[in-house]
Chains A and B, each alone.
Chain A
Amino acid sequence: MEVDHQTLVWFSKSFGLFYLIGLSLAVVAYAFWPSNKSSFDQAAGSILREEDKPWR
């Protein structure tokens, strides 16, 4: 099968468009999913803790 220029343009204009839209929806959903909020808050604060040793 020969992949020509037209095929690639069709692919990028169809799949390319929808995968980027899908990806951005997934990212926004992940970032704003209510149950993720606590782990994000915890992570944001975790670097400020008063300790400098690995946990073992």
Chain B
Amino acid sequence: MIGQLTKNERQNALAILIAMAVGGLVMTIGGRNSLLGVHGGLVLMIAVVGIFAMTATLKLPDPAEDRLNAYYDDPTKVGIIISMVWAVAGLFVGDWIAWLLVFPDLTFDAAWASFGRLRPVHTSGVIFGFGGNALIATSFYVVQRTCRARLPDQVTPWFVLFGYNLFCVIAATGYLMGVTQSKEYAEPEWYADLWLVVVWVVYFLLYLRTLSRRKEPHIYVANWYYMAFILVVAVLHIVNNLAVPVSFGSEKAYSAFSGVQDAMTQWWYGHNAVAFFLTAGFLGMLYYYLPVRAGRPIYSYRMSIISFWGITFFYMWAGSHHLHYTALPQWVQTLGMTFSVMLLVPSWASAGNALMTLNGAWDKVRDDATLRFMFVAAVFYGLSTFEGSFMAIRAVNSLSHYTDWTVGHVHAGALGWVAMITFGAIYASVPWLWKQDRMYSAKLVEVHFWLAVAGTLIYVFAMWNSGIIQGLMWRTYNDSGTLAYSFIESLVAMRPYYIARAIGGLLFLLGALVGCYNIWMTIRMAPRESAKADRPEPGAAGAPVLQPGE
């Protein structure tokens, strides 16, 4: 794989690794009295291993010129594997803490094993580790095919992929040691945040450079969504993480915002992380992989454009619905609520567009579990966006807020929509990337599909039940006008649902493990006969069928 890099590129990579080693050394020395030094040592160690690996290959000859006749897919392949590793790790920790809520003694009195430290390992592991790597990997795949242009160079994509994973590793190890700035989905401290800014700007520039090399006149809509994901995540990340470190030798920093401004900035970030990380990027995936796998063009290209602008401009205002009944001014809460309700229109336009694309290919949905993953994703996207708009209404929120209903809603989106579309995209890409005609086992894809669907349904139904019971118990008064139930009574009432939730999560984890095995075996299969020759177009059998009215 390193042999694919030109001599010049290998030297550049080496220079980057040396700079990284110096950075790690500075962090180690400067932060020797704090946890910053531990992360410095980690960075230094990874850089030194990289330097040895890279130096050993410097003498290799330049790769053949004909590499430029193919898309550059090595970073996508590695990204998909890393993504699956994070999926298993993140889902495992998620299920672990689900059991921890059932059996609170499972912490073994160790600080690192407490709920507060493990929960962000789960959320960052699945959102940034699994989801982020899948987005980066598929975005490289999609942008090249839709532009009919190869990535502009062979170092930048690796810098983005490995640099991003360095951020994820620093984040996860930091949480276990207690390093956190306590902002949900933005827990990493200042030095990790600064590093992510560098990686993200390089990612954005790489995407623009590839787009500028395109041979297609029109930029396909999937790229719009990927671009919105990259650009807006950069803006959100920079603003929400503005902070002043205690000193350059300390891992601790304090936010530039305070009080209700801090809360508003955090939830402007938090809800747009849902919008642009967990929605826009994965809609980019949907708009490419679903039509290709179904062999039909998107039902309405016009609707995809209108919903794109609807989603980008409405979501920006929705964050304040996380702060109903707080010190935030009432009109800001109402603004967030209104925009959240309006969001239903572009959201359902996207979900409907995906389902209408499948209309006429239902036989494929029935027979092909990969396409069925994408179909279920579109259904859950429709359901969870409806639920989200509903829960943002102030009166509904008074029942749902702070209860497990929110947890159920998030998982309907994360498991039912985000993970399903990702597994669909991965099962579609793996045979195309490794030049196989199919996955190792269609049966195992089927097994994964049903485990994932069963796990999601059990999870979501358990949380709906527990959430609504919790909400009602917290607002039930007795004849003398005081609360009928103590908090601990509501907690005891949750226990059966927590068990059900942990079982649902376990099924979802088992599905991901089956997926890993299937992907590994597909990679190990002998490449098909025709692989050396031209690669046929993935999945699309026969001429595309145009739809009536299009």
Interface residues of A (CB under 8 A from B): 20, 23-24, 27-28, 30-32, 39-56
Given A20-B313, A42-B218, A47–B288 Cβ distance below 8 Å? yes
Q: Is the CB of B540 within 8 A of A48?
A: yes
- The answer to whether A56 and B537 touch across the interface, beta carbons within 8 angstroms, is no
Listed residue (A20, A23, A39, A53) with the most chain B CB atoms within 10 angstroms of its CB: A53
Question: B1 contacts the other chain (Cβ, under 8 Å)?
Answer: no
Q: Is the CB of B216 within 8 A of A46?
A: yes
Instruction: Determine the main DSSP class of B at the interface with A.
Output: loop
Chain B stretch 380-420: residues in CB contact (< 8 A) with chain A:
none
**CB–CB A51/B537 < 8 A:** yes
Show 5 residue pairs from A and B whose CB-CB distance is below 8 angstroms, ordered by the A residue.
Answer: A20-B313, A31-B305, A47-B145, A47-B291, A54-B150
Cα A56 to Cα B150 in complex, Å, equals 9
Residues of chain B whose beta carbon lies under 8 Å from any beta carbon of chain A? 68-71, 144-146, 148-150, 215-218, 220-222, 288, 291-292, 295-298, 301-303, 305-306, 309-310, 313, 432, 534-538, 540, 544, 546, 550
Are A53 and B220 neighbours in the complex by a CB distance under 8 Å? no
**How near does chain B come to A13, taking the closest CB pair, in angstroms?**
10
Given A23-B309, A54-B144, are A44 and B550 also a contact pair (CB < 8 Å)? yes
Which one of B288, B303, B550 has the greatest number of beta carbons of chain A within 10 Å?
B550
The answer to whether B305 and A30 have CB atoms under 8 Å apart is: yes
Check A50–B537 contact: CB distance below 8 A. Answer: yes
State which of A31, A47, A51 has its C-beta within 8 Å of the C-beta of B306. Answer: A31
A28-B306, A56-B68 known; A47+B550 contact, CB < 8 A: no
Contact call B69/A54, Cβ cutoff below 8 A: yes
Contact A54 B70 (CB under 8 A): yes
Which of B145, B309, B537 lies in contact with A27, CB distance below 8 A? B309
Contact residue among B69, B302, B432, B540 (Cβ-Cβ distance under 8 Å from A32):
B302
Assess whether B297 is in contact with A45, with CB atoms less than 8 Å apart.
yes
Quick check: B68 and A48 within 8 Å, CB to CB? Answer: no
Let me know if A47 and B220 touch, CB within 8 A. yes
Q: Nearest-CB distance from B279 to chain A (Å)?
A: 18
Bound-complex Cα distance A10 to B218 (A): 39
With A20-B313, A32-B302, A52-B535 as known contacts, state yes or no: A43 contacts B540, CB within 8 Å: no
Bound form: Cα–Cα A50–B220 in Å: 17
Contact, CB under 8 Å: A55 / B215? yes
Closest to B289 in A: A47
Of chain B, the residue at the smallest CB distance from A36 is B302
B contact residues around A20 at 8 Å (CB)? 313
Evaluate contact between A54 and B148: CB separation under 8 angstroms. Answer: yes
* A45 pairs with B535, CB closer than 8 A: no
Chain B residues with CB under 8 Å of A55's CB are 148-149, 215
Residue of chain A at shortest CB distance from B329: A5
Whether the pair A53, B291 counts as a contact (CB closer than 8 A) is: no
Q: Which of A20, A40, A44 has the most CB of B within 10 A?
A: A44
CA distance A32 to B305 in the complex (A): 10
Distance in angstroms from B485 CB to nearest chain A CB is: 41
Closest 8 CB pairs of A and B: A44-B297, A48-B544, A55-B215, A50-B537, A40-B301, A43-B218, A31-B302, A27-B309
Which chain B residues border A56 with CB–CB below 8 Å? 68-69
Task: List the A side residues contacting B538 at CB < 8 Å.
Answer: 52
5 extra A-B contacts, CB within 8 A, seeds A47-B292, A48-B291, A54-B69: A48-B292, A48-B295, A48-B544, A52-B537, A54-B215
Contacts of A53 in B (CB 8 A): 69-71, 534-535
Enumerate chain A residues within 8 angstroms of B306, measured Cβ to Cβ.
Answer: 27-28, 31
- Report B-chain residues with C-beta under 8 Å of the C-beta of A48: 291-292, 295-297, 537, 540, 544
A50-B540 contact in complex given A31-B306, A41-B550, A45-B546, C-beta closer than 8 Å: yes
Task: Please determine whether A24 and B534 come into contact, CB atoms closer than 8 angstroms.
Answer: no
Contacts of B150 in A (CB 8 A): 54
Q: Closest approach, in angstroms, between the C-beta of B338 and any C-beta of chain A? A: 12
- Asked if A44 and B298 sit within 8 Å, CB to CB, the answer is yes
Residue contact B71 to A54, C-beta cutoff 8 Å = yes
